[in-house]
Amino acid sequence: MNRTELIRQIREKQSYLCVGLDTDFEKIPDHLKSADDPVFEFNKQIIDATHAFCVAYKPNIAFYEAMGPKGWISLQKTLDYIPKNCFTIADAKRGDIGNTSTLYARAFFKEMNFDAITVAPYMGEDSVKPFLQFAGKWVILLAHTSNSGSADFQLMESSSSHRKLYEEVILKAQTWASSGQLMFVVGATQAEKFKEIRALAPDYFFLVPGIGAQGGDLEKVSQYGLTNECGLLVNASRSIIYASSGNNFAKAAKAEARKVAEEMKLYLNKFS
């Protein structure tokens, strides 16, 4: 999906919600666990319930890798089931030397046909560039993440530029790819920094985890992060897919996704 189509979907749905499919077999409702493919059946019902309110889905690859070969089958079935008008993100956080990155890119872009993949930038340009060689596909680069350990390295300051490491990542990466192929991960728990981060990359989309269960402030993220073309994909995972653990889990997920989308509609009208 190209940038124009992504923006069109955001405008049509009046939402910039991304639903994270972090599906844990131990957490899905018990009545699904006897299905032929419990993880896919759970994802299928979540997608049916939420696709009207979101513009993207983001399976976290670790949840599927942990199940071995059957997990990859569940992932591919899930990906194939997602409506074509929804943006798909492989939350894989890959990043390695060039030849290895080329194979990771081939796996997720060519074989599985995701629209985007999350990539760690800390091995430098040659570890990221292979992912940028696939037309119509996106790299979503880790910049300022929402986890507590992000401060260990991302906030380290350069003695020469006096910029923090995550700021250097954002500025340097813009010389590698345009805003039609590159996004940045910026955690919602860093909402107070969104104004200055947006100034570093005014035309680029941000993938924003950390609302919902992690407590990020959607209003502040929207106030300081939205652009005239939206520029945000805000992810919610546990707060939506595990809104209920009972037989009504899909209905509860739908209600939570609708609630978030309605809030986003207000902010699109107010801030963008």
**Given its phi and psi angles, is residue 238 left (phi above 0), alpha (psi -120 to 50 degrees) or beta?**
alpha
Residues 6+ away with beta carbon under 8 Å from 266? none
What does the alpha-carbon distance between residue 136 and residue 119 come to, in Å, rounded to a whole number? 16
Q: Please say whether the beta carbons of 54 and 86 come within 8 A.
A: yes
Q: Is 228 exposed, middle or buried (0-12, 13-18, 19+ CB in 10 A)?
A: exposed
Q: Please say whether the beta carbons of 147 and 161 come within 8 A.
A: no
Residue 17 phi, psi dihedral angles, 5° rounding: -85, 135
Q: Please say whether the beta carbons of 143 and 166 come within 8 A.
A: yes
Q: Which of 93, 172, 251, 265 is catalytic?
A: 93
How far is residue 168 from each of residues 228, 235, 258, measured CA to CA in Å? 25, 24, 37
Active site residue 93: yes
Within 10 angstroms of residue 178's Cβ, the number of other Cβ atoms is: 11
Within 10 angstroms of residue 112's Cβ, the number of other Cβ atoms is: 17
Strand, helix or coil at 83? coil
What does the alpha-carbon distance between residue 89 and residue 60 come to, in Å, rounded to a whole number? 9
Q: What angle do CA 114, 32, 38 make, to 5 degrees?
A: 35
In the chain, the N- to C-terminal Cα span, in Å, equals 22
Which sequence positions are flagged as catalytic? 93
